[in-house]
A and B are shown apart, each in its own frame.
Chain A
């Protein structure tokens, strides 16, 4: 992965709208052939950043490089990028084939070449034979596919996707996620996705940049982002994270000694404290699935604590238990896969909980 060349480079990109500081010094690199996501809550600047690549937004200072070329002064219609818009922006007065072939108008192709390229593009997105349909009569999922075919037919270096799945219902969205991954592997083009849906980003991306307030908070692959978020905020945004207060006792070399509520005194390695260890008011964070409720006859492979069940949320395949660990007054969430024949615990039950210090992350 790391040996792939850089496709897009942001160099201290700043963007102001009047007094509003929309992008605050973005520096990052996106590699060729990568499925990259810009993830963050609305208003974090992710769409603005995407539009600076497309050329729809100018930047106040810094540089956006595409394939080694500075894009300053290069208008959107001359950039090697194409975009799939949130609203799909299908031209309603044209047919599906005219929409898909729109970008080829200036290529000077013969009618037959044009028809065959359009046909190939439609087949690629699973819309073979839809060419003569009126564009305004398509369903949401079909529009999405037309938008994809239209953007990919020009074989851009970078495909930009601005929340392309947000208008679809859940089932359709999950189906399109898988199709987009397949499509990206097939064409090998760099895909840059903007989304506010952390699950979508985790599912689809090779790497993700999490953005808050015009800054990249963390840029990492999905697993690192999930297991080792570098700040409490990122941890909170990606999936569910439990937090318990902790005291830093001491540091030596690459280990940190902490006293965490409910867990007692622990030694963590430096990798588990990505945000540094200085200062007061630290917390340890851990995912709901890193704790396991022990049933009769089971023993913990690492550590074991006592806990009281406060709340039970049954999801069919999973049950979420909100529990209080002995020695802690804050409820934490544990998720357990339901196994046939095993009872679901009830509120007020006392239970043993297995955990491992390696799954904890320390935040300041």
Chain B
């Protein structure tokens, strides 16, 4: 009896979470401009319409550039920070790590507004690079979280063994540490890419006149006729996110299997 209520609760919970997302492809393939039931017929014309929007193309290009650049930068910074925090002791370590991780809990709007004020104050022109700056700031805590667990599960004697067998610190890093944390690096790249790709607030404040994908989508909602196209775009993005996160998780698990460790839970 008890078990059945849990089942009902679980199904209700999942519906609440995912029903809105299921609506997305439904209307993306619906042959009507108005977003309302009943569905009128199957059509792929909204997907075709996507390609006729020049601003959309530019927004996608900008967003991909921002996401790729910020994920690489954030992951690089994350590697240094995770390595330092798991391997070395230094003064004020807890405080420094806390400050790095802080953007994880700071309201994004505060981060965006403060960055805007500071950048304008410094006389920096808003561009894609200012968005990248903001995205690196919010992605780095995520990359550190992922990479710390990758570095943590690395037995320190592995490094010592390589060093003992004649390798230098640099070649030990390349031959032993890097291959073993590579799954963590890949999953960190993919997750920061995903975060950056759909980030709205910072992009909205710091992009200047350049459109990014989320900002473009938001702006399109002013035109009812454009809504089905957005639905189609949303469908593509959801599929892309699922694929990326699946790849990230695949690499994370393969890394665990390879090093013979125990799965301690990841983001998926």
Q: How many Å from the CB of A12 to the closest CB on chain B?
A: 26
Among B164, B167, B180, the one with the most A-chain Cβ atoms within 10 Å of its Cβ is B164
A102 pairs with B160, CB closer than 8 A = no
Interface residues of B in 215-268 (CB under 8 A from A): 258-260
Interface residues of A in 138-167 (CB under 8 A from B): 150-151, 154
> Does B176 have its Cβ within 8 Å of any Cβ on chain A?
yes
Partner of A77, one of B158, B168, B176, B179: B168
Complex CA–CA separation, A75 to B164 (angstroms): 9
Given contacts A92-B258, A93-B258, A136-B259, contact A85 B166 (CB under 8 A): no
Which single residue of chain A is at the shortest CB-CB distance from B179?
A93
B165 within 8 A of A: yes
Minimum CB–CB distance for A34 against chain B, Å: 21
B163 contacts partner chain A, Cβ-Cβ < 8 Å: yes
User: Considering residues B157, B162, B165, B179, which has the most beta carbons from chain A within 10 angstroms of its beta carbon?
Assistant: B165
| Contact of B52 with A by CB under 8 A | no
- Which residue of chain B has the shortest Cβ distance to A82 in the bound complex? B164
Contacts of A106 in B (CB 8 A): 166-167
The yes or no answer to B104 lying at the interface (CB within 8 A) is no
B26 within 8 A of A: no
Q: Is A63 an interface residue (CB 8 A)?
A: no
Least CB distance from B72 to A in Å reads 23
- Contacts A83-B160, A85-B160, A93-B180; A103 near B258 (Cβ below 8 A): no
CB neighbors of B among A85-130 (8 A): 85-87, 89, 91-93, 102-103, 105-106
Q: Could you tell me the distance between the alpha carbons of A105 and B158 in the complex, rounded to whole angstroms?
A: 16
A121 CB → nearest B CB, Å: 13
- Is A248 close to B, CB under 8 A? no
| A150–B158 alpha-carbon span in the complex (Å) | 13
Q: Is the CB of B167 within 8 A of A85?
A: no
With A77-B167, A85-B157, A92-B259 as given contacts, are A102 and B162 in contact (CB-CB < 8 Å)?
yes
A56 touches B160 (CB 8 A): yes
Q: For chain B, what secondary structure do more than half of its interface residues adopt (helix, strand, loop), or is it mixed?
A: helix
How many chain A residues sit at the interface, stated as a range, is 20 to 34
Instruction: Give the A-B pair count, Cβ closer than 8 A.
Output: 61
A92-B180, A92-B259 given as contacts; is B165 within 8 A of A87 (CB)? no
Among candidates A92, A136, A154, residue contacting B165 with C-beta atoms closer than 8 Å: A154
Instruction: Please report the total number of B residues contacting A with Cβ < 8 Å.
Output: 18
The answer to whether B165 touches A82, judged by C-beta atoms less than 8 angstroms apart, is yes
Inter-chain contact A87/B164, CB cutoff 8 Å: no
Bound complex: CA of A142 vs CA of B160, how far in Å?
20
With A136-B258, A136-B259, A136-B260 known as contacts, the answer to whether A89 contacts B161 (CB < 8 A) is yes
In-complex Cβ contact of B260 among A76, A92, A105 (8 A): A92
- Min CB distance B254 to A, Å, is 11
Contacts of B176 in A (CB 8 A): 91
For residue A54, CB closer than 8 A to chain B, the reply is yes
A-chain residues with CB within 8 Å of residue B164 when the two chains form the complex: 54, 56, 76-77, 81-83, 151
Is B166 touching A103 in the complex (CB atoms < 8 A)? yes
Kindly state the separation between the CA atoms of A354 and B187 in the bound complex, as whole angstroms: 74
Contacts of B147-177 to chain A: CB distance below 8 A? 155, 157-158, 160-168, 176
Contact with B155, one of A78, A89, A105, A154 (Cβ below 8 angstroms) = A89
Structural contact, B259 and A93, CB atoms closer than 8 A: yes
A76 touches B157 (CB 8 A): no
Nearest B residue to A88, CB-CB: B157
In the bound complex, residues from chain A placing their C-beta under 8 Å from that of B161 are 83, 85, 89, 91, 150
Report yes or no: A103 in contact with B165, Cβ–Cβ below 8 A.
yes
Taken together as a complex, chains A and B put the C-alpha atoms of A313 and B148 apart, in Å, by 52
**Who on chain A is nearest to B158 by CB?**
A89
For the complex, give the distance between the alpha carbons of A82 and B167 in Å. Answer: 12
- Complex-state Cα separation, A102 to B165, whole angstroms: 7
A169 to chain B, nearest CB (A): 19
Query: Looking at the complex, which one of A89, A136, A150 makes contact with B160 (CB distance below 8 Å)?
Result: A89
B2 CB to closest chain A CB (Å) equals 42
Residue from B155, B167, B258 in contact with A87 in the complex, judged by beta carbons closer than 8 Å: B155
- Complex: A151 Cα to B258 Cα, angstroms: 23
Question: In B178-231, which residues have CB < 8 Å from any A CB?
Answer: 179-180
Shortest beta-carbon contacts, A-B, top 3:
A103-B165, A89-B157, A89-B161
22 contacts between A and B (CB under 8 A): A56-B160, A56-B164, A75-B163, A76-B160, A76-B163, A77-B165, A77-B167, A77-B168, A83-B160, A85-B157, A85-B160, A89-B155, A91-B158, A91-B162, A92-B258, A93-B179, A93-B259, A103-B166, A105-B166, A106-B166, A106-B167, A136-B259
Extra inter-chain contacts (5) besides given A56-B164, A76-B164, A136-B260, CB under 8 Å? A86-B157, A89-B160, A89-B161, A92-B260, A154-B165
Q: Which of B's residues lie within 8 Å of A, judged by CB?
A: 155, 157-158, 160-168, 176, 179-180, 258-260
Chain A residues near B (Cβ < 8 Å): 54, 56, 75-78, 81-83, 85-87, 89, 91-93, 102-103, 105-106, 136, 150-151, 154
